[in-house]
Amino acid sequence: MVKTVSFGGTSPDFAVGAVLQTMIGGLLLQWLVDPANAPPADTLAAGLRTLAEAVDPA
């Protein structure tokens, strides 16, 4: 069975997807325009951990 997906709306899943898509697009653009100054993976991972802790502290 195939699940139907609606693009658009205000559900939490849609909101998270919109933010992730925006972040990924911005990062890809930065790598294309100025790859020498794009943040390395460890910096991005540290930033994501910090955001996750701010939203839902353990």
Distance CA 58, CA 54 (A): 9
* H helix runs in 1-58, sequence order: 12-33, 41-55
Q: Which residue has the tokens 């839902």?
A: 56
Over residues 33-54, the pLDDT tens digits come to 999 999 999 999 999 899 888 8
Amino acid letter, 3 = K
Q: pTM of the prediction?
A: 0.60
Q: Where does the pLDDT of residue 7 fall: very low under 50, low under 70, confident under 90, or very high at 90 and above? A: low
Residue 38: the pLDDT is 93
Distance CA 37, CA 4 (A): 40
Residue 12: the pLDDT is 77
